[in-house]
């Protein structure tokens, strides 16, 4: 899964590394065995001129404005449309994944499915992100950039799909099993999805956002799993990210009160080990500090007068879905 393909027979620890770096194998590629490493990133794909694009599409520069936290009925209806589209593309992308393809193959699929529907893939050139979907394998927490990395039998992969259409963004993601996956990873994926739903069940008008993090963290801890802290849920609407911040762990300071008409994402990242992370040199890819696997699920939700509406649930992967691909 690196730029240079390793040989079938690897060198001894004290011998020169197979990659030609001149370093000993034990200090070069041996520590990376079994880890995801950067591959080759293909050129950024284009979007047809006829498709309405967000302001950052050409420049990569994201303009911020004070978007209302309470969405108008018109914005909510447009969000339902965008979220339905994102959910459908995510479902199809999950069915598309199979051992032997590259993560770039997945990006091509999601890009083409999005533009075919007349929408813009929101991640593309957002703060310069070079692809149309995030593909996060195994220990990659989030924001994995599609490249020449090959998806292997036994991997788990998170696909994060967002569509910009009708002037709003619809955002959702899920983690899929690839081929014959070990039992521990299957449990991780199940618990991560359950954590998301626990967080969604905690959404209620008049309650603080911290209730969401408390519900998620309690469920993860019950299974002796970690909750990644560095990446959080966010407000969403006409902007990809607004100033609503949804922590996935309990912090009383996350005290903004939920009100009907608010829209935001709930997207916990659950790990088999530590909650701490490391960043790759690309400034996008986040991996667990201990190299253990992590899984994530995400829905965009609307706070209602009586509770919550899951905007990305229609057609999205559900708790009862068969995870084995």
- pTM (2 d.p.): 0.89
- Name the 3-class secondary structure at 213: helix
Domain housing 222: 53-60+67-310
- Name the 3-class secondary structure at 277: strand
Spatial separation of the C-alpha atoms in residues 317 and 320, rounded to whole Å: 8
Asked if residue 131 lies in contact with residue 107, where contact means CB atoms within 8 angstroms, the answer is: yes
Residue 21 within any structural domain of the chain: no
Give 149's DSSP letter.
Answer: P
Residue 272 within any structural domain of the chain: yes
| pLDDT tens, residue order, the chain (325 aa) | 333 456 667 788 788 886 777 887 666 765 566 789 999 999 999 999 999 999 999 999 999 999 999 999 999 999 999 999 999 999 999 999 999 999 999 999 999 999 999 999 999 999 999 999 999 999 999 999 999 999 999 999 999 999 999 999 999 999 999 999 999 999 999 999 999 999 999 999 999 999 999 999 999 999 999 999 999 999 999 999 999 999 999 999 999 999 999 999 999 999 999 999 999 999 999 999 999 999 999 999 999 999 999 999 974 444 333 322 2
pLDDT score of 2: 38
Residue 10 within any structural domain of the chain: no
pLDDT score of 12: 81
- Name the 3-class secondary structure at 43: coil
Q: How many domains, the chain?
A: 1
Residue 30 within any structural domain of the chain: no
Asked if residue 302 lies in contact with residue 262, where contact means CB atoms within 8 angstroms, the answer is: yes
Spatial separation of the C-alpha atoms in residues 254 and 133, rounded to whole Å: 29
Residue 15 within any structural domain of the chain: no
Calculate the CA 238 to chain-centre distance. 20
Instruction: Read off the CATH number of the domain in which 107 is found.
Output: 3.90.230.10
pLDDT score of 27: 67
Residue 136 within any structural domain of the chain: yes
Residue 299 within any structural domain of the chain: yes
Give 159's DSSP letter.
Answer: E
pLDDT score of 277: 96
Spatial separation of the C-alpha atoms in residues 37 and 49, rounded to whole Å: 35
Residue 27 within any structural domain of the chain: no
pLDDT score of 259: 98
Determine how β-strand 263-266 pairs with β-strand 308-310: unpaired
pLDDT score of 8: 61
CB atoms within 10 A of CB 44: 14
Asked if residue 304 lies in contact with residue 73, where contact means CB atoms within 8 angstroms, the answer is: no
Give 127's DSSP letter.
Answer: G
């Amino acid at each position: 899964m690196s730029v240079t393909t390793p040989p079938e027979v690897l060198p001894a620890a004290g011998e020169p590394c197979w990659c030609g770096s001149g370093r000993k194998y034990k200090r070069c590629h041996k520590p990376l065995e079994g880890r995801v490493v950067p591959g080759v990133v293909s050129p950024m794909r284009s979007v047809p001129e006829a498709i309405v694009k967000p302001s950052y599409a050409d420049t990569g520069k994201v303009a911020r404005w004070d978007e209302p936290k309470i969405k108008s009925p018109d914005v909510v209806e447009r969000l339902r449309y965008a979220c339905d589209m994102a959910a459908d593309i995510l479902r199809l992308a999950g069915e598309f994944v199979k051992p032997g393809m590259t993560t770039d193959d997945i990006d091509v699929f999601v890009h083409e499915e999005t533009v075919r529907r007349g929408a813009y893939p929101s991640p593309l050139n957002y703060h310069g992100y070079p692809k149309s979907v995030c593909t996060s394998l195994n220990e990659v927490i989030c924001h994995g950039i599609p490249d020449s990395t090959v998806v292997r039998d036994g991997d788990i992969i998170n696909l994060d799909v967002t569509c910009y259409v009708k002037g709003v963004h619809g955002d959702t993601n899920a983690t899929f099993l690839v081929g014959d996956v070990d039992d521990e990873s299957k449990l991780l994926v199940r618990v991560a999805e359950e954590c998301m739903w626990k967080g969604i069940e905690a959404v209620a008008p008049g309650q603080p956002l911290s209730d969401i993090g408390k519900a998620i963290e309690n469920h993860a801890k019950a299974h002796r799993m970690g909750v990644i802290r560095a990446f959080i849920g966010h407000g969403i609407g006409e902007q990809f990210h607004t100033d609503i911040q949804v922590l996935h762990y309990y912090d009383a300071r996350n005290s903004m009160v939920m009100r009907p008409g608010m829209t935001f994402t709930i997207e916990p990242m659950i790990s088999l080990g530590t909650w701490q992370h490391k960043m790759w040199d690309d400034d996008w890819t986040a991996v667990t500090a201990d190299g253990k696997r992590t899984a994530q699920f995400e829905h965009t939700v609307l706070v209602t007068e009586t509770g919550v509406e899951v905007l990305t649930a229609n057609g999205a992967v559900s708790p009862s879905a068969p995870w084995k691909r």
